[in-house]
């Protein structure tokens, strides 16, 4: 018989930390804390298997679940001495979601469940605090109506704001018991008026409504978007945690808070968090009230005049500090904690591995390894390679002039500039148009997640360091400033005002998530420097990885950037990018317009010196590291003007008729140029192009070897071949040029000629191609396009739908399709190395910087990956993690 419900409390639990797939992260950790003897309100977890059953069986529950829940409620009631639904001594509960992967704020929560018109009086009498009882009841009505009855919470806020205004109140804490009674009355009337039926009074109806809402929230839009952004499978489902309520809103000896055992922004080994006296949990994260600091040190640094928990509740603070240390030591990782204090008694509501910035992740991992808490290998595995992208963004130039108009909390590091937008939808729209935006909100909610993802950075005027905006921005690696209270946001007028300055929608705004500054206009940025913990961890990673990491680079700036980030060579230099410079495009066009080979060679001769200079500089920058240069690849029409006006202008500059230029352009126009006259087809039809490029490469190699004193071994790559005969024709021309250069210079050239495998036929014929090709580089951008028959440039119209409907798990242009494209890579690898055992193999598509694709390359046994310069650190760490997984699998 399947077990659907697992209880916990009073120092014992039916679950444990290693049962997160079944109990979800929250449920597993509540069970673990109970087993550790920590103060956890008793409760029970309805497993993720119920969620799976629920959606697989037409949104109905297993038959046994009702009885199992009743038994668990009785168990909890016995522990706390209360009975669920009892009018005189009621057990009140919270109902929370809890997936196996942390999804902060994405699913729904209901607190104070079990309150109704009768039980609220019992709570008031038992506590001796009617204000607390009715405050809790109004919160329950608002949360339950929003989560379960789908009645928007802002309607309740309007009622409350109007009441406070009419009575001269500023804060919620200004309201007394009679005030909350009146609010409850108005809330209930509002619900009945809008929904046509009274607010539910039966606690059993309330409970099952809330359980259904939590399961339903697994499929709400914000959860779907979050899962897509974080690659969380829909099939995992969520658990439901039902827990006896403890109350932080019972007076000045009660509180609620959120804390981290280390600073989640910087990684500093110091308790970090916020709390509120006389409040419930949602008050802290919603930004409704400005929270107070946990520690006295943090209060002083923040310049706050509100007492810290260390001073206001010293005994509770001491106990909390002890428990934080116990939990970090037990889990061997920085923990994110939620707690409530009820009448000076501390209760732990949650622990989980805390979300952190890349900067913090690096520091925490390195310090824990140096302290012997974890191994170096564990430290390498602890840092998400993709998160390193956060460290690679520019920071504000400290010497630049800045028109600071306000400041807030430095919630997520990095700096960003963009146009002001006030809604998530506008952010997403402008992002789709290629524009950079800063999302400005009074406070964010989970419904804003798509706009936060589309924005360069986020600014809010409310909320603290653990607010929704702060937590989500840190997870996304977006700069964020929260709680900028001096800035006034007017949604209706589309303006922000601060310090006498008013900016409107569309104006440029800069935020600095490291300092909390908000700046009018754009500010010059500085490139990051990789040092400290970054250098330490990357050194450890380099010590365990097998895969080499190269960069895609063709400009000196790209090459230097890549080398600074630890690239071990250039895996793809796209020579066509060098042709688009103003001084060279004319010669290219002359070559295209030439009527015969002689004319083409004359035009190409003008490009030789420039190409030679380009290649020599790359060789010198890389200083003996390998450099792979791809011969001209794109269709020739890309170099020609497009509009009539451009054709007339270019024709005049070249001294030819516009008619001839237009006619020539028409000759090269193709219905599908990406499958047309490009790649090796150009080199075969016009061998003089490849010959000029080969000569430039070889002459540059000779010169660079002399200037650096290091051997230069260029790797020349022939693009878009379908078989051996094509490759051999081009290779023969390259070899002929090499002999001529050797004769002319007296130098002995050491070089390799290989090919890109970017067409399915080439992958299938790899064995034959490897007879003469000395290396393969998988061009997975085009290999994905030609395998799927999908144009990467046009796929955006339907890829989202395909992912949403489960046809693709992820965008195949972002992460390699291991079953299709990957299978072709495996076939080509096996067949190529069967002929040439030491065949050098790499990948040079955008997948080279994707951690999942890097792991695939390790599995297949490639020699290197090549990616954009700023993704080199990501690939280095991903390669190390892949190597560690391979080692672990071989030892299992």
- 777 pairs with which residues across the strands? 756, 842
Phi, psi of 762 (to 5 degrees): -60, -40
- Residue carrying the six token digits 């079953």: 819
* CB count in 10 Å sphere of residue 396: 22
| Chain length of the chain | 892
Cα–Cα dist 375/373, whole Å: 7
Q: Is 478 helix (H, G, I), strand (E, B) or coil?
A: coil
DSSP for 713-781 reads --EEEE-S--SHHHHHHHHHHHHHHHHHHHHHH------EEEEEE-SHHHHHTHHHHTTT-SEEEE-HH
Q: Is 696 helix (H, G, I), strand (E, B) or coil?
A: helix
- Residue carrying the six token digits 């700036």: 557
Tokens of 761: 């036929």
Cα–Cα dist 474/467, whole Å: 11
Pairing of strands 627-630, 715-718: parallel
Cα–Cα dist 208/125, whole Å: 27
Tokens of 94: 């919270």
- 352 pairs with which residues across the strands? 336
Phi, psi of 612 (to 5 degrees): -60, -45
Cα–Cα dist 204/242, whole Å: 13
Cα–Cα dist 156/89, whole Å: 28
Phi, psi of 882 (to 5 degrees): -65, -40
The answer for residues whose C-beta is within 8 angstroms of residue 377's C-beta and 6 or more apart is 544, 884
Rg (CA), the chain: 32
Active-site residue set = 468, 844
The answer for residues whose C-beta is within 8 angstroms of residue 239's C-beta and 6 or more apart is 22, 23, 24, 26, 27, 45, 46, 47, 48, 50, 51, 97, 98, 99
Cα–Cα dist 879/872, whole Å: 10
Angle at 144 between CA 139 and CA 145, to 5 degrees: 100
Tokens of 478: 């977006």
Give the distance from CA 676 to its chain's centroid. Answer: 37
Tokens of 614: 């380009």
Could you tell me the CA-to-CA distances from 414 to 394, 411, 473, 824 in Å, in that order?
7, 10, 11, 40
Nearest C-alpha neighbor of 623 from the set 542, 549, 535, 564? 564
Asked if 558 and 869 touch (Cβ cutoff 8 Å), the reply is: yes
**DSSP secondary structure code for residue 201 in this structure:** -
**DSSP secondary structure code for residue 808 in this structure:** -
Q: Is 850 helix (H, G, I), strand (E, B) or coil?
A: coil
Tokens of 195: 């929904």
Asked if 777 and 754 touch (Cβ cutoff 8 Å), the reply is: yes
Cα–Cα dist 754/571, whole Å: 12
Q: Give the neighbor-by-neighbor strand order of the sheet with 93-99.
A: 12-13, 5-9, 43-46, 238-244, 93-99, 109-113
């Amino acid at each position: 018989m399947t077990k659907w419900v697992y209880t916990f409390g009073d120092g014992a639990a039916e679950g444990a930390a290693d049962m997160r797939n079944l109990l979800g992260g929250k449920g597993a950790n509540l069970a673990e804390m109970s087993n550790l003897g920590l103060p956890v309100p008793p409760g029970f977890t309805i497993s993720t298997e119920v969620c799976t059953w629920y959606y697989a069986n037409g949104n109905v529950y297993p038959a046994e679940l009702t009885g199992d829940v009743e038994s668990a409620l009785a168990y909890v009631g016995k522990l706390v001495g209360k009975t669920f639904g009892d009018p005189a001594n009621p057990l009140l509960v919270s109902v929370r979601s809890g997936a196996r992967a942390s999804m902060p704020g994405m699913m729904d929560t209901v607190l104070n469940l079990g309150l109704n018109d009768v039980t609220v009086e019992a709570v008031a009498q038992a506590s001796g605090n009617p204000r607390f009882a009715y405050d809790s009841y109004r919160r329950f009505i608002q949360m339950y109506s929003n989560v379960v009855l789908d009645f928007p919470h802002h309607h309740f806020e309007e009622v409350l704001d109007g009441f406070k205004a009419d009575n001269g109140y500023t804060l919620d804490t200004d309201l007394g018991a009679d005030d909350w009674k009146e609010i409850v009355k108005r809330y209930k009337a509002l619900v009945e008026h809008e929904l046509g039926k009274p607010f539910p009074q039966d606690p059993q109806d309330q409970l099952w409504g809330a359980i259904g809402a939590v399961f339903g929230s697994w499929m709400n839009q914000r959860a779907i978007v979050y899962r897509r952004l974080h690659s969380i499978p829909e099939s995992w489902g969520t658990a439901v945690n039902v827990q006896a309520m403890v109350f932080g809103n019972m007076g000045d000896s009660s509180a609620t808070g959120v804390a981290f055992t280390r600073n989640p922004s910087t990684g500093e080994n110091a308790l970090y968090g916020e709390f509120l006296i006389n409040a419930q949990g949602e008050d802290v994260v919603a930004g409704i009230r400005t929270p107070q600091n946990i520690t006295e040190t943090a209060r002083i640094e923040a310049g706050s005049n509100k007492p810290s928990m260390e001073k206001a509740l010293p005994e509770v603070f001491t106990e909390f500090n002890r428990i934080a240390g116990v939990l970090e030591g037990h889990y061997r990782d920085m923990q994110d904690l939620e707690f409530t204090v009820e009448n000076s008694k501390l209760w732990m509501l949650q622990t989980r591995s805390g979300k952190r910035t890349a900067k913090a992740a690096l520091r925490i991992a390195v310090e824990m390894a140096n302290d012997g808490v974890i191994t170096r290998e564990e430290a390498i595995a602890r840092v998400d390679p993709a998160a390193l992208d956060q460290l690679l963004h520019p920071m504000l130039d400290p010497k630049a002039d800045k028109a600071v108009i306000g400041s807030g909390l430095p919630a997520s590091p990095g700096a960003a500039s963009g146009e002001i937008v006030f809604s998530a939808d506008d952010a997403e729209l402008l992002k789709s148009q290629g524009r950079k935006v800063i999302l400005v909100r009074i406070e964010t909610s989970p419904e804003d997640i798509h706009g936060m993802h589309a924005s360069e950075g986020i600014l809010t005027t409310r909320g603290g360091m653990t607010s929704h905006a702060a937590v989500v921005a840190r997870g996304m690696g977006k700069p964020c400033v929260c709680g900028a209270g001096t800035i006034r946001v007017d949604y209706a007028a589309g303006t922000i005002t601060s310090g006498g300055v008013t900016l409107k929608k569309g104006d440029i705004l800069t935020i600095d998530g490291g300092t909390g500054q908000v700046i009018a206009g754009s500010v010059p940025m500085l490139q990051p420097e990789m040092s400290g913990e970054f250098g330490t961890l990357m050194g450890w990673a380099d010590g365990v990885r097998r895969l080499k990491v190269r960069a895609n680079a063709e400009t000196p700036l790209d090459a230097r950037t890549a080398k600074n980030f630890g690239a071990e060579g250039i895996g793809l230099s796209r020579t066509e990018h060098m042709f688009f410079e103003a001084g060279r495009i004319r010669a290219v066009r002359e070559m295209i317009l030439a009527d015969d080979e002689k004319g083409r060679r004359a035009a190409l001769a003008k490009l030789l010196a420039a190409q030679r200079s380009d290649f020599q500089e790359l060789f010198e920058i890389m200083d003996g590291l390998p450099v792979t240069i791809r011969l001209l690849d794109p269709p020739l029409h890309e170099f020609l003007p497009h509009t009539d006006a451009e054709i007339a202008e270019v024709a005049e500059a070249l001294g030819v008729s516009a008619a001839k230029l237009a006619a020539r352009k028409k000759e090269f126009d193709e219905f599908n140029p990406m499958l047309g006259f490009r790649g090796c087809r150009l080199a075969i039809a016009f061998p003089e192009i490849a010959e000029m490029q080969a000569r430039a490469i070889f002459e540059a190699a000779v010169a660079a070897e002399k200037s650096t004193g290091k051997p230069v071994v260029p790797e020349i790559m022939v693009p878009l071949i379908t078989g051996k005969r094509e490759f051999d024709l081009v290779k023969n021309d390259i070899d002929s040029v090499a002999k001529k250069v050797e004769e002319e210079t007296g130098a002995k050239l050491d070089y390799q000629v290989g090919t890109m495998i970017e067409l399915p036929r080439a992958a299938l014929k790899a064995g034959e191609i490897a007879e003469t090709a000395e290396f393969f580089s998988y061009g997975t951008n085009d290999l994905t396009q030609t395998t799927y028959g999908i144009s990467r440039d046009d796929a955006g119209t339907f890829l989202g739908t395909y992912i949403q409907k489960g046809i693709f798990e992820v965008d195949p242009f972002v992460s390699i399709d291991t079953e299709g494209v990957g299978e072709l890579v495996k076939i080509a690898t096996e067949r190529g190395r069967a002929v040439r055992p030491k065949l050098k193999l790499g990948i040079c598509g955008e997948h080279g910087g994707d951690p999942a694709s890097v792991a695939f390359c390790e599995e297949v046994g490639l020699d290197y990956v090549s990616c954009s310069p700023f993704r080199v650190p990501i690939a280095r760490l991903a390669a190390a993690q892949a190597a560690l997984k391979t080692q672990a699998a071989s030892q299992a």
